[in-house]
């Protein structure tokens, strides 16, 4: 029995290593989905810990979806606050706003309260949705412990490249901004300019 448990443990370690090894080593090496492609369906969690299907959420109205590294990242918090300042104008244009990170629901609540956000944050702790979007890459060993902790033990060593996607109600990407330099984000002013130019049918 002891031998079986040892083999089973080694198998789990191998699987975890294999999944990690499939991730791009650097942010510059990602292969994101492109404009015109449909996003995959996935389950993400609200700050209350409830499961939500991505495509069902996005079918309600056109969506500004952005991925951020976590509430521990000062650049992310600055961007969250900037989007919050533009929220009223974004909503007036007929869009909803959804932010996604590896953070656990509990840490989403902390970020929400810290930044006094009105829009919705969701957790993709194990990174299935982020990886399917093609924007996940392998985190450094230095970051792995913090990511594991902030995700509630689900993140096995991935980071999202901070990205902004504009999605129509069918789940099709109408616009995207992806920059491997996590210090450089899409400004609220440019986002609003893009939203005004896009002709996305409202439900």
**pLDDT mean over 88-103:** 96
Place of tokens 């890459």: 137
The per-residue pLDDT of the chain, averaged, comes to 90
Q: Is 173 helix (H, G, I), strand (E, B) or coil?
A: strand
Burial class (CB in 10 A: 0-12, 13-18, 19+), 145: exposed
Q: How many domains does the chain have?
A: 1
- Domain contains 185: yes
Domain ranges, residue 71: 2-197
Alpha helices in the chain (DSSP H): 2-21, 54-58, 74-85, 87-92, 105-115, 128-132, 141-150, 188-197
- Residue 64: pLDDT over 60: yes
pLDDT range class, residue 15, cuts 50, 70, 90? very low
Residue for token pair 């792995």:
144
Residue 203 lies in a domain: no
User: Which pLDDT value is given to residue 199?
Assistant: 75
Going from the C-alpha of 101 to that of each of 98, 161, 181, 198, the distances in angstroms are 10, 10, 17, 26
DSSP state of 140: P
Is residue 58 in some structural domain? yes
Q: CATH number, domain at 15?
A: 3.40.30.10
Is the predicted pLDDT of residue 122 greater than 80, yes or no? Answer: yes
On whether residue 202 sits in a domain, the answer given is: no
Q: Element (H or E) spanning 118, and its range?
A: none
- Is the alpha carbon torsion for 53, 54, 60, 65 positive or negative? positive
Check: CB of residue 54 under 8 Å from CB of residue 48: no
How does residue 13 score in pLDDT terms, banded at 50, 70 and 90? very low
Give me the pLDDT at residue 202, please: 62
Give the model's pLDDT for residue 32: 97
Minimal CA–CA distance to 196: which of 96, 94, 98?
Answer: 94
Q: Which residues contact 87 (CB under 8 A, 6 or more apart)?
A: 97, 118, 119
Is pLDDT of 68 > 70? Answer: yes
- Whether residue 106 lies inside any domain: the answer is yes
What pLDDT, on a 0 to 100 scale, did the predictor assign at position 18?
42
The strand pairing partners of 45, in sequence order, are: 51, 123
């Amino acid at each position: 029995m002891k031998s079986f448990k040892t083999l089973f443990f080694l198998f789990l370690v191998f699987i975890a290593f294999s999944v990690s090894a499939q991730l791009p080593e650097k942010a510059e090496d990602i292969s994101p989905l492109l404009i015109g492609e449909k996003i995959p369906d996935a389950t993400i969690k609200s700050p209350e810990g409830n499961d939500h299907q991505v495509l069902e959420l996005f079918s309600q109205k056109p969506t500004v979806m952005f991925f951020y590294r976590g509430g521990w990242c000062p650049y992310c918090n600055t961007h969250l606050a900037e989007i919050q300042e533009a929220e009223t104008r974004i909503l007036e244009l007929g869009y909803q706003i959804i932010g996604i990170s590896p953070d656990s629901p509990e840490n989403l609540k902390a970020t929400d309260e810290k930044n006094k956000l009105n829009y919705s944050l969701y957790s993709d702790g194990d990174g299935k949705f982020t990886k399917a979007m093609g924007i996940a890459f392998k985190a450094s060993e230095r970051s792995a412990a913090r990511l594991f902790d902030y995700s509630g033990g689900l993140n096995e060593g991935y980071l999202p490249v901070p990205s902004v996607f504009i999605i129509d109600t069918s789940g099709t990407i109408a616009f995207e901004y992806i920059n491997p330099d996590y210090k450089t984000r899409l400004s609220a002013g440019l986002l609003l300019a893009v939203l005004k130019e896009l002709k996305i049918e409202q439900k």
